[in-house]
Amino acid sequence: MTKPCNPPDPNTRTPKFKLPANATDAHCHIFGPADKYPFDPNRSYTPQDAGLDLFKKLQGILGLTRAVLVNASCHGVNNDPIIDAIAQSGGAYRGVANIDKSFDEKAIEDLDSKGIRGCRFNFVRHLGGVPDMDEFHLIINRIKQFNWHVVLHFDAVDLVTFEDLLDNLPVPYIIDHMGRVPTKDGLDQRPFQILLEFAKRDNCWIKVCGSERISSMGPPFTDAIPFAKAIIETAPDRVLWGTDWPHPNIKLHMPNDGDLVDLIPLMAETTEIQQKLLVDNPHRLYGFSN
């Protein structure tokens, strides 16, 4: 039996912070609708429908025009939900796929032609834990020739466990949600210090999203700000931001996405850094046209 997910906050408020032109949500999902895009029978959770129409409405409220759609594990390796959304976006969306060893070079080339620019692996325990590492390395070798990157969803402890793996990855990699380091353990905790060391490397990118996931204080999640600021200061040209809408597997405090947008100027305090975080960096990595 899979766990049901809470729906996103239906009352998204208009944020006080005005996003720059062509701002990008670099981490978001499309869920269903299940009658069109059935969920994977082996999924670990079951979300409520949160399809493209709802996402476009969210973007309009927040002031976003670009997006990187990350195919969620509840859809397995069926990437149609994000491929179809990308096709309808007029070039405004890119995607990160879920793939397995059944995807050969031809299949990956086909995904690339449809706007996919990377693949994702979940290591977190609530989504099944460590993937098959032989399959992981096989896929990494296949995506190299397409200049794809790999997105890594870790628990904080994984930053310690898999330090050697990250030392030797032959493709660019993105660490999701600030490595899910718990704010209650402080800036000096070993996983976060390792994350900052990775941030200095040219092939490492980090998403300063998921404040609601790492916060120990709850809304408005301001205890995540020092962590985001430290990451941004370390790698201002390789940081990304996203909503993580519709926030799967949030148990305690479902965030309002307007509140999350209003954390941005507290993390990235100057217009120059905001431009990098929201526009220049994602546009460079994902090949958006200006």
Cβ–Cβ under 8 Å, residues 174 and 149: yes
Best CA proximity match to 237, nearest among 191, 199, 269 = 199
Between CA 218 and CA 167 the distance in angstroms is 34
Please say if 112 is a catalytic residue.
no
Give the active site residue among 244, 257, 259, 280: 244
Between CA 164 and CA 207 the distance in angstroms is 21
Structure tokens at 84: 């179809």
Name, in order, each residue with C-beta under 8 angstroms of 44's C-beta and a sequence gap of 6 or more.
2, 3, 73, 74, 126, 127, 128
Q: Which residues are catalytic?
A: 244
